[in-house]
């Protein structure tokens, strides 16, 4: 590899923690500092697979639970070559949700273990930094009501949060827990600081494989 590669930066967290707000601000700030940066999100609802996932989330179709888990993973794999290409071109990617949401949401369903859920995503481009925006369900509720999509239920989201907490115990992933109950700007400054450090750290290292 010649030159410096970009960093893969993921934002995870419960619904309304501020992931989308912070992804947008982070990309703008990195660009303002002269760094190449782009935003992505999962699921990416624009692909054929993503359109099927979107219909499922909108409750317009039903899919068997293992099947939809594999579709979410396939949606990441179909974009993995583009992710690698961008990183190698020196572009840092700021991504709204990744495999961690995949595992946390499916393993919150009865009968699904963490290991089974992780398997399809083993070997994906490994994030250089995963920022977990932590927010209590009560704070999240103050930011607005749930929408009508599948999974937007308090009891289910509580189990999802427990699964995220299990995933965060894995030291092979560079997790940073961010207290998301603060102002948009305070959060942004902390996220920017972690991201700058990750970009510097990643620059001269090859892209690794997740959970491998």
Task: Give contact residues for ligand ADP (rule: CB under 6 A).
Answer: 13, 15-21, 143-144, 183-184, 187
- Residue 118 touches which of ligand 2DT, ligand ADP, none (CB < 5 to 8 A by kind)? none
* Contact criterion met (CB below 8 Å) for 97 and 41: yes
Q: Interface with ligand 2DT by CB under 6 A: which residues?
A: 42-43, 57, 72, 97, 101-102, 105, 151
Pair of tokens at residue 117? 């859920």
Name the residue nearer to ligand ADP (CB basis): 66 or 150: 150
- Residue 17 touches which of ligand 2DT, ligand ADP, none (CB < 5 to 8 A by kind)? ligand ADP
Name the residue nearer to ligand 2DT (CB basis): 77 or 151: 151
What's the CA gap between 208 and 206, in Å, rounded?
A: 6
- Residue 183 touches which of ligand ADP, ligand 2DT, none (CB < 5 to 8 A by kind)? ligand ADP
What's the CA gap between 63 and 172, in Å, rounded?
A: 32
- Residue 42 CB, nearest distance to ligand 2DT (Å)? 4
- Residue 175 touches which of ligand ADP, ligand 2DT, none (CB < 5 to 8 A by kind)? none
What's the CA gap between 87 and 71, in Å, rounded?
A: 24
What's the CA gap between 26 and 14, in Å, rounded?
A: 19
What's the CA gap between 106 and 116, in Å, rounded?
A: 10
What's the CA gap between 126 and 207, in Å, rounded?
A: 7
């Amino acid at each position: 590899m010649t030159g410096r590669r970009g960093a893969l930066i993921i934002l995870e967290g419960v619904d309304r923690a501020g992931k989308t707000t912070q992804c947008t601000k982070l990309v703008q700030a990195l660009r303002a500092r002269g760094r190449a940066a782009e935003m992505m999100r999962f699921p990416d609802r624009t692909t054929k697979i993503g359109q099927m996932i979107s219909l499922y989330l909108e409750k317009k179709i039903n899919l068997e639970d293992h099947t939809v888990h594999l579709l979410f993973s396939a949606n990441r794999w179909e974009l993995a070559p583009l992710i690698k290409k961008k990183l190698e071109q020196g572009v840092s990617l700021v991504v709204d949700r990744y495999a961690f949401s995949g595992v946390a949401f499916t393993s919150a369903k009865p009968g699904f273990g963490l290991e089974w859920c992780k398997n399809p995503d083993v070997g994906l481009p490994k994030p250089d930094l995963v920022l977990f925006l932590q927010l209590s369900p009560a704070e999240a509720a103050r930011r607005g009501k749930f929408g009508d999509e599948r999974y937007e239920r308090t009891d289910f989201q509580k189990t999802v949060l427990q699964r995220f907490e299990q995933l965060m115990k894995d030291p092979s992933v560079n997790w940073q827990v961010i207290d998301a109950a603060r102002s948009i700007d305070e959060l942004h400054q902390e996220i920017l600081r972690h991201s700058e450090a990750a970009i510097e750290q990643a620059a001269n290292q090859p892209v690794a494989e997740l959970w491998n």
